[in-house]
Structure 1
Amino acid sequence: MRARSTNGGSYLFVELPALSVEIGDFTKILRVLANVTVTPGTEFGPQFTNSFRINFSQDHKKAVAAMERLIDVMNRYRK
Structure 2
Amino acid sequence: MSLTLRACYTATCDICGARYLDPDTDAVALLADEAKAEQTLRTAGWSVLANGYLVCEQTDAAHQQIPGQLSLGAEELSR
Instruction: Mark yes or no: TM-score above 0.5.
Output: no
Q: Taking structure 2 as the reference length, what is the TM-score of the superposition?
A: 0.30
Instruction: Choose between structure 1 and 2: higher strand proportion.
Output: 1
Larger C-alpha radius of gyration, 1 or 2?
A: 2
Higher relative contact order (CA 8 A, sep 6+): 1
TM-score by length of 1: 0.30
Higher helix share: 1
